[in-house]
Amino acid sequence: MNIIEVKELSKSYKDFKAVDNISFNVEQGRIYGILGPNGAGKSTTIKMIAGLLGKDSGTITYEGNSTIDKWSSNIGLVPQNIAVYDELTAEENISFFVSLYGITGKEKEERIEKTLRFVGLEDVRNKAAKEYSGGMKRRLNIACAIVHDPKLIIMDEPTVGIDPQSRNYILESVKELNKKGTSVIYTSHYMEEVEAICDRIIILDKGKIILNDEKDNIKNMFLDKQTVTILSKSEINDIQNLEKTLNAVDGVSSVSVVGEKCVCVYDSNKRPLDAIIQAAYKHGIEISDISTSRQDLETIFLALTGKELRE
């Protein structure tokens, strides 16, 4: 069952089209990864879904309801910028946010206890948030977003700038929430996170959806492919002609050139590596390094968008 249906959604800022006529569904109990370089439209999309930003056109339906007013309490938003009160303790922060949903009395206390345990902050519940590490603040941010047991959690880069241990804790928490039936929309600049937890992946570029499929289907599409990455000693200037030449090489399926990096995806059965290197030399590239690898989501993303994810 779809809990969210997005149809022909668009949003512009003056002359800049941030989201351009996109459509997708969010099924109950699944984790969706939304990827894209900076400016692709990720944050604008999730803000519109969360009701924080108006749309120019299109529709967003919430379990068959065309307005968010009656459904907003079913959404938990974890913003990229930490949204907790530094002067308040963990318990006080969570208490404040759960109160916004009209939850009081014994149920309120039970939810606070359960949420503190879930994010691993019960032992520091009485410390002010300003005394927390970055990872602890991120976990408190999540606690404030989930204490009301939402059906959908939207997480906008929830692991930025934290230590690996806290990152792993958060990823395990997302999987645990999902096991209980919660749907998740997850944006990240860390491809390995999306690969680890998401069922379905949507890739945005220039406000449009360029890929929307099951994670395993995406990986299987490129199962017989390999990637060669060529690093130049200086920035590659003759991009158009280089891409045209490489795309003409038998076996090459896609080419992207970014700065000093040229990435070619090719059919591993064709073995066109020599022809690729010769083409690079022909276009005056002084090669500083060459490496080959099996396809992963990082190289698939680069091949599809021609951009680094962290741009």
Distance separating alpha carbons of residues 236 and 231, to the nearest angstrom: 9
Q: Which pLDDT score, from 0 to 100, does residue 165 have?
A: 84
pLDDT tens for each residue of 121-147: 999 999 999 999 999 999 999 999 999
pLDDT tens for each residue of 206-233: 899 988 999 888 877 766 678 888 999 9
In a domain, 57, yes or no: yes
240 shares a domain with 207: no
Over residues 71-91, mean pLDDT: 93
Question: Is residue 16 scored above 80 in pLDDT?
Answer: yes
Distance separating alpha carbons of residues 151 and 76, to the nearest angstrom: 8
Q: Which two tokens stand for residue 17?
A: 């089209």
Q: Strand 152-156 vs strand 183-187: parallel, antiparallel, or unpaired? A: parallel
Over residues 276-302, mean pLDDT: 82
Give the domain-ending residue among 177, 192, 218.
218
Q: Which pLDDT score, from 0 to 100, does residue 306 have?
A: 64
Q: Which pLDDT score, from 0 to 100, does residue 194 have?
A: 87
278 shares a domain with 182: no
267 shares a domain with 166: no
Give the predicted TM-score (pTM) of the model.
0.77
Q: Which pLDDT score, from 0 to 100, does residue 39 have?
A: 83
264 shares a domain with 146: no
Q: Which pLDDT score, from 0 to 100, does residue 258 have?
A: 84
Question: Is residue 311 scored above 60 in pLDDT?
Answer: no
177 shares a domain with 138: yes
156 shares a domain with 127: yes
Distance separating alpha carbons of residues 291 and 311, to the nearest angstrom: 22
149 shares a domain with 15: yes
The domain containing residue 241 runs over which residues?
224-294
271 shares a domain with 197: no
Of the chain, the percentage scoring pLDDT greater than 70 comes to: 94
97 shares a domain with 231: no
User: Could you tell me what percentage of the chain is helix, strand and coil, using 3-state DSSP and rounding each to the nearest 5?
Assistant: 35, 30, 35
Which ranges of 180-251 does DSSP label H, i.e. alpha helix?
191-197, 215-221, 239-247
190 shares a domain with 270: no
Q: Which pLDDT score, from 0 to 100, does residue 192 have?
A: 82
Distance separating alpha carbons of residues 6 and 22, to the nearest angstrom: 7
Helix axes 105-118 and 90-99, enclosed angle (nearest 10): 130
pLDDT tens for each residue of 201-211: 998 988 999 88
Lowest mean pLDDT among 115-119, 249-253, 261-265, 300-304: 300-304
